[in-house]
Structure 1
C-alpha cells in the first residue's frame, strides 16, 4: 500500500535521523577502547539506524510519487478526453502565445487548429486553457470568444459525440490495440448510420476484422450509454437516441446468433476437411439474412469453392449443418417471418436434391467398384 506523506512528516523523519546520529556518536565515544580505537557500536543502535535509513528512503520515494500524483490531479477531465498526441506541449505553446503580445481570436483559433486537428480535441483544448489559472482576465475572454466561434462553425452533434466517446475510445483502444481516434470516428459514423443493423455489423467487420467484432459492439454500446447519460449529450432529447438503442439491441441479438450459427456450421470441421472458416460462415449468415429468397446464390458465393472439393457425403453433411444454423437464428433477425420460412424451405429442397443424388450415385459406385 502506498502512503502519501506531507512536508511535516518528512521533516520529522529527518529530525529523527539527526537525533539517532547524535546518539550513535555518543555510544561510539563511550565504547572507545584503551588504545583510542573505536569499538563496534551497540547492535540495537545499528539496527535502528538501518531502519530509519530505510524509512527515509521510502519517504523520499513516496515524496517523488506525490509530485507525480499532484501533476496528474491538475489534469482536468477535459484534458483526459483529448485524443491528440503531445497535448501538454501543445497547450503550453498556446499559453505562451496568449501571455505574449495581444492575440486575436482568429489567430488563436488558427494556431490551435494547427495543433489540434479534430474539432472535439480543439474544443477540449480551449476548455483546458480556460481552466488554467495562469491566464489573465483578458486572455480568458479571448478563449471564450474562440469557444463560441468553434461551436458556431462546427457540427454540434459530431463535436459532442467525439467528446463523450473519448474516454471509452481510450479504454477500448488499449484493449484492442487500436487508435482511440479511429474508435471515436466509428462512434460518430454510428450516429449518422441510416442503414439496417445488418449493414452496421458488416461495416464493423469490414473495418476491423471478424475477430474484433464483439469488442467493437461492446465499445459502441458503452459509448452510446455514456453519451446518453452525459450532461451535454449528442442529441437534444432522449427520444432521438431511440433508433440507435434499437440498432444496438439488434446488433447484440445478431452477435449472439452469429456465435451459434458459426459454431453449428464449423462444428463438423473434420468431415469437411476444415475448409469452412469462421469468416466464411459469418459471411454466409449475414448474406443469407439480407437475401433469404436468394439463399442458393448466397451459398454458392460463400461456400462454392468448399463444396466442389467435398465428396457427396461430406457435402450433404455440410448442407445439413447450414440448415440447422439458419434454423437457430431468431425470427426477429429476419426481415419478416415469411422470409425465414422461405429460406428454410429452399434449404430443405436443396438438401433433398442432394440426398436423392447421393442415393442414385451409391449403386453406380458399387457397380464400378473393382472385384
Structure 2
C-alpha cells in the first residue's frame, strides 16, 4: 500500500487509489522520464456498479439476454486476447513447425502446448495461425482439427469466458502492485464457479492476491462480468448472470464498508498513536480484524491480539 499525505490534516492516509490512477491522472517517474497510465479504480468501481445494476434491471424485465452487445474480438485480432508472454515469437516458431509438418504427423497440440500451456491461449493462437498465408490448405485443415479436438475436451463455457475477458485482464494488470493478466483471468473463472458467501469470496481474494489488490480484483471482476455477458458468445448463461451479478454487487458493499472503515480510522485524532513497536497500524491489520468479524473466525481471540499489539 502506498501511503499518501493528507495536506489538510498533515496525517498519513491508508486509502490509496493510485494503485492505479486518481481521477484518471498519469503517474510519472521523473527519474526515468517514463509515464504509465494506470486505471482509475474508484471510477471503474462506480461505473461498473451502475452498469451491472442496469443490466440486472433489463434481465428482470425481459428475462432474456441483453440486446446491446459489446464488441467482440476484432476479425484477425486474436493475439490481443492471448495472455501468454512473447506471443509473436512463440507463434512464429509454431508457424515454422506447422509449415514443415509432414502429412503423417498429427502432434500439433502437444508441440504447441510447450509454448501455450493454457487451452484458452492455445485455441486463440491456433485461430490466429489459420490467418497466416504461409500455411497450406492441408496444414490449415490440421490446425482446424486441432482446434476441434481442444474444444471437444475443454470446458466450452470456461473457454468462451476466458476469451471474452482477455483484453479486460490486460487492462487491469497495469498497477503499482503485482497482479498479472493471467492471474486476473483465472480469478474471474474461479469466481464463476464459486458457491460461497460474499465475505468468503472477499477473504479469498485477500488471502490469494494480497490485501492491496482487493479493490482492483473487484473492479476487474465486475468489468469482466459485464464484457462476458454482453459478448456475442457469452461463457455464462442468462440464468447464471443474475446470481453472479448480485454476488459481485454484494462484494462491492463489503468493499464500500471496508473503504469507509479505513477512511474513518485514519481521520481519528489519535490515529498515529495506534501502532505496534515498529509502525502505525497497517491496512492489512485493520482489514484482517474487519474480515474476522464478518466471518466470525476467532474474532474474540483476534480482537485481543489486535488490542495487545496496537492499543496497549
Q: What is the TM-score of this pair, normalised by structure 2?
A: 0.68
Within-5 A mapping of 1:90-101: 90-101=90-101
2:310 alignment partner in structure 1: 306
- On the 8 A contact 1:266/1:278 being kept in 2, the answer is no
- On the 8 A contact 2:179/2:209 being kept in 1, the answer is no
- On the 8 A contact 2:265/2:271 being kept in 1, the answer is no
Structure 1 98/114 Cα, relative in aligned 2: closer, same or farther at 3 Å? same
Q: Which has the higher helix share?
A: 1
1:199 alignment partner in structure 2: 200
Unaligned regions of 5+ residues in structure 1, if any?
1-73, 310-371
2:114 alignment partner in structure 1: 114
Q: Distance in 2 between matches of 1:169 and 1:271?
A: 37
2:37 alignment partner in structure 1: none
1:85 alignment partner in structure 2: 85
Q: Distance in 2 between matches of 1:105 and 1:288?
A: 60
Q: Distance in 1 between matches of 2:271 and 2:198?
A: 34
What's the CA shift for 1:125?
A: 0.6
- On the 8 A contact 2:164/2:231 being kept in 1, the answer is yes
The number of residue pairs the alignment matches comes to 233
2:67 alignment partner in structure 1: none
What's the CA shift for 1:289?
A: 2.0
Structure 1 223/300 Cα, relative in aligned 2: closer, same or farther at 3 Å? same
- On the 8 A contact 1:165/1:227 being kept in 2, the answer is yes
Structure 1 157/273 Cα, relative in aligned 2: closer, same or farther at 3 Å? same
Q: Distance in 2 between matches of 1:267 and 1:110?
A: 58
1:257 alignment partner in structure 2: 257
2:286 alignment partner in structure 1: 281
Q: Which of 89-98 and 113-122 deviates more? A: 89-98
Within-5 A mapping of 1:156-175: 156-175=156-175
- On the 8 A contact 1:201/1:251 being kept in 2, the answer is yes
- On the 8 A contact 1:105/1:145 being kept in 2, the answer is no
Deviations 1:326-347 (A, max 9, x none): xxxxxxxxxxxxxxxxxxxxxx
Of structures 1 and 2, the larger Rg is shown by: 1
Structure 1 269/77 Cα, relative in aligned 2: closer, same or farther at 3 Å? farther
Structure 1 271/161 Cα, relative in aligned 2: closer, same or farther at 3 Å? closer
Aligned with 2:167: secondary structure? Answer: helix
Deviations 1:57-93 (A, max 9, x none): xxxxxxxxxxxxxxxxx99321111111222222222
Q: Distance in 1 between matches of 2:216 and 2:101?
A: 49
Aligned with 1:231: secondary structure? Answer: coil
- On the 8 A contact 1:105/1:146 being kept in 2, the answer is no
For the aligned residue pairs, the C-alpha RMSD in angstroms reads 2.4
Q: Distance in 1 between matches of 2:235 and 2:255?
A: 26
Q: Distance in 2 between matches of 1:132 and 1:122?
A: 16
Q: Distance in 2 between matches of 1:271 and 1:187?
A: 36
Deviations 1:131-160 (A, max 9, x none): 223322212211111111001112223322
Unaligned regions of 5+ residues in structure 2, if any?
1-73, 276-280
- On the 8 A contact 1:90/1:115 being kept in 2, the answer is yes
The structure, 1 or 2, with the larger RCO (C-alpha pairs under 8 Å, 6+ apart) is 2
1:21 alignment partner in structure 2: none
